[in-house]
A and B are shown apart, each in its own frame.
Chain A
């Protein structure tokens, strides 16, 4: 096979006509498809967490529960909102114009760090929410029911495992490409 001929085909390939994205670039930030999707998700999630923060105290009898659990829940929810904003910032960050292998390694490191923050924070907040809901059950903490705590631990492990699996598959392609370039 003649690669010089293939080079010619490749170099000739291009858009047949001017693409709309060329002239629409001025609306780039607000029409950027991935960011638009993430922004919509961020707005929905943040609104839901803020509503929960305002309503949980009366809806879930916050006044009848220990102050420590109330405080932990509020901190957990605020951290979840911050985590959403961090994710948006990470997605909208410009890609590096460093050599590809280096840029990919840096990106993988950033995303791996963020994924651990995300997984631990979400599982931690779920654990706090469960603790909060059980905090005013009389006699539970003095005579713990093993089956109840066992069920909670199993649910937390499942939630943790599912999130780790989701992140692992998200980052799998990037990891594979780095390995392919390195070897």
Chain B
């Protein structure tokens, strides 16, 4: 029996003698493996950054949004513009929750919008976060200079604002912002503080391109509404987050006078559920990628099989010579099988190298965070080995079965 090292050597020799053909054959595998490993690195990167930002906020956050997101027709009605429950949550709900809940540290309402923010002749478009004094701890706003708005600012609908670093850079430049008056949607606001930079979030949004104002001011003076976009609550510990969520639901049902059997006009979500949703999204992503990978590897494998069949025919005489000097059927089988596996593994390795390069480039020059882990690499290598074996076995068997006399006579 021929030694394995010997057949690997022969395989590399024969591939090296036809480099372009070998490369073109491998291209299918290279693209398949490369695409999968690159996509998975993007997926893992996104997952990691989402998870880390979830952990940043703290895993005891409960988010209440208006409308019942568990009911399908809701989405359909929303599409038709019949957003019937969008005014379901109010500042009064926040007060009730804060008063009655046992498992909560606190709760804060929020209105999110985007507006033109200007100082003198400079203006920029920024996110406007409106909330109450509790937001400082619950939203994790860290004040850099100055102060956060307090309960009396909220009560008196004061025109005060805190600005993020990007806004400062855009409209103030080197000017000290605190005490200056800016315009948000044309209304004057006095700057009472600045917020510590947070960087970009997992979706690439600049979190520092923002201003925050008291929610009452936003409702009455900017938007003319009496509802809020969402309520953020914080459970006392990470362990009782599910009890806390149930408690919030119970309090809100009572406050909204919902009878038993009547469905919620709001949705309560907590971080664990968000992580679950994230897991589901990741699974869908993985399944999609796996299907693409499967198709790519199948196509690559057929390419390998095709070229191996050509190779067996071309090298009929070589097979005859080898058999004449004593090669057994299994020696020939091993030789050709090794060649197809070497072809597919080399393709796999090149694909991985390609993916690593792409991932590094994406990481450095785009907002995408990528993460190369061992798992997709091992997966890609084992799959390309299997492809090489599976699509190589038939050509190798054809080679092994050749009659030496006829093979030697082959022109």
**A, B bound:** no
Give residues in B with beta carbon < 8 Å to A. Answer: none
Give residues in A with beta carbon < 8 Å to B. Answer: none
